[in-house]
Amino acid sequence: MVKTLRDLLSELHAERERTWDPDQLQLNIDQRRELVEAAHPSNWVAAGDPAPPFSLDEVDGERLTRESLTFRGPAVLVFFRFAGCPACNIALPYYERELAPGLRDLGATLVTLRGLGYLLKAPD
Tell me the pLDDT tens digit for each residue of 5-48.
999 999 999 999 999 999 999 999 999 899 889 988 887 777 77
Average pLDDT, rounded, for the chain? 86
* Residue 1: DSSP 8-state: -
The superfamily in CATH containing domain 42-124 is Glutaredoxin (3.40.30.10)
Tell me the pLDDT tens digit for each residue of 39-92.
888 877 777 788 788 888 877 888 888 899 888 898 888 888 888 889 999 999
Domain boundaries, the chain: 1-38, 42-124
Angstrom distance (rounded) from CA 122 to CA 53: 9
Closest C-alpha to 73, from 114, 121, 110, 112: 110
Our measurement of the distance from residue 115's CA atom to the centroid of its chain's CA atoms, rounded to an integer in Å, reads 9
Handedness of CA 74, 79, 82, 88 (dihedral sign): negative
Is a pLDDT exceeding 60 seen at residue 121? no
The predicted model scores a pTM of 0.76
